[in-house]
Amino acid sequence: MKLKILIILLLPLFFSACSSLVLEPADFGWPVESVITVDENGNAREKQYILSFNAKQLFIEETGDSLSFMDKDLRVIRNVKGYYFITADNFKNVYVFNADNGALKLNNKIAVSDTLGIDDPAFNQRPPYIELIYSGKKINLTHEGIAEKEEEEDK
């Protein structure tokens, strides 16, 4: 009888030790974008948020040119859900990545311009969106795509 009571009392402790710990809510967003210069080896390093990756494949995907990364700046921001948004001057797309076992894995490729690449892009954190500003336009993005387009800014 005592053994049964002891087992009943210990079972909740055993199962609680097996459950995963979840800390929520969590906000992974960066308040402002980072501008990262790609080095001669194709590596991009962001020191403040401790992010580094090789960008050669990104530039090959966007331009088809294996040397197009030379002396280029990437615009990178992370949203509140932890997705990385990456683009650069003259890109036609915004690439959305998530962290995956020591790598950045492409989650989505958002087409922003069908013809010409975007000029002088900049990201802003506008929860729940990432705002992309280029050529007097603003586009709200999520990791799934374009959330809403706004008209050109009044000048």
Read off the DSSP letter of residue 96: E
Residue 95: what residue type?
Y
Region of 3 please: left (phi>0), alpha (psi -120 to 50) or beta: alpha
Domain regions of the chain by residue span = 22-149
Answer whether 0.85 is exceeded by the pTM. no
Q: What is the mean pLDDT of the chain?
A: 87
List pLDDT tens digits, range 103-145: 999 999 999 988 889 999 999 999 999 999 998 899 999 999 9
d(CA 25, CA 135): 35
Tokens of 136: 């007097």
Residue 155 pLDDT greater than 60, yes or no: no
DSSP three-state, residue 143? coil
